Amino acid sequence: MSIQTAHASTFNNIYPAKFHLLDAQKSIAPYGANIGRIILYSIVIAIVIVTRLKWTKHGRRVTKPKIIAESIFFLVLGSIVVFDSFYDVGIPILYLILYLILFLGLAYYSYLHSNRLISFWKESKSGSIYVKGGTHIHLAYVIGTTSRIIISVLFIGSLFTPNGRGIIYVDNSTAVLATIVFDLLLMISVGLLIGINRRILIRYNLIKEGKEKLMEK
């Protein structure tokens, strides 16, 4: 018995550092995953900011399939974020009504009032149609998207990840409140963007049908 006790004591004396190391690795692992997410989301944010601001300042070539594909992409992305909010964060399902009202209302508002914010021209050589403008709407989308990503990385931690933890710990009620606030901001920005894209598509169709004339560059 004394030999077994001595053996156990020796084992505990030799390997406690190993056990502590394993515990430390387990505690550090989520933060390592968060660092990877920060890098990934930083890349996404940079791409969104650069492309949006470049398009509003210098313009971009537009086609009907491109406008529709872009709108579908942003709708799908926004839907994934909202699904994550309800499924993982635990937002009450009744808030979906508020989300939809806000999104549809801002989309319609943007559609009605964005016509004066955009301008079209046609390239003389290729005949391609270009559009620019809507800086405030695109800036709102950048703010809405980046803020939702940042709040997920810092506090929520569930966006596209299974660990359900952010870098900074907050209780569940705070996480739910923060998610609702920044989801609403995202719905505003996506609604504005879909509205201006709808206006661009209608103007594009009028131009292709010859009902609206453009200057050539």
**pTM of the shown model:** 0.74
DSSP track, the chain: -HHHHHHHHHHHHHSHHHHHHHHHHHHHHHHHHHHHHHHHHHHHHHHHHHHHHHHHHH-EE--HHHHHHHHHHHHHHHHHHHHHIIIII---TTHHHHHHHHHHHHHHHHHHH-GGGEEEEE-TTT--EEEEE-HHHHHHHHHHHHHHHHHIIIII--TT-SS---SS---HHHHHHHHHHHHHHHHHHHHHHHHHHHHHHHHHHHHHTTSS---B-
Q: What confidence tens digit (pLDDT) does each residue in 76-129 have?
A: 888 888 888 888 778 899 999 999 999 999 999 999 999 888 988 888 788 889
pLDDT tens per residue, range 115-157 = 888 988 888 788 889 898 888 888 888 888 888 877 777 777 6
